[in-house]
Amino acid sequence: MAPVVRAAHYPGRAAIEAYGNGGFRFAGMSHRGSLLCLPSGIHGWDAPAPDALDEANLEPVFIEAAEIEILLVGTGRELVPLKPAMRAHCRALGIVAEPMATGAAVRTFNVLLAEARAVAAALIAVD
The CA–CA distances, whole Å, from 106 to 35, 51, 58, 71 equal: 11, 19, 17, 12
What is the C-alpha separation between 83 and 52, in angstroms, rounded? 9
The pLDDT, as a whole number, for residue 6 is: 54
32 has which bridge partners?
Answer: 23
CATH number of domain containing 66: 3.40.1230.10
User: Which ranges constitute the DSSP H helices of 55-116?
Assistant: 59-63, 84-92, 102-114
| Averaged pLDDT score across all residues of the chain | 93
Q: Residue 11: its pLDDT value, please?
A: 84
Instruction: Tell me the residue range of the domain where 98 lies.
Output: 5-123
For 45, the 3-state DSSP assignment is strand
CB of 17 closer than 8 Å to CB of 37: no
Per-residue pLDDT at 2 exceeds 50: no
Domains in the chain: how many in total?
A: 1
**How many Å apart are CA 14 and CA 2, to the nearest integer?**
25
Q: How does pLDDT run across 17-36, given as a tens digit for each residue?
A: 999 999 999 999 999 999 99
92 Rama sector, left if φ>0, alpha if ψ -120 to 50, beta otherwise: alpha
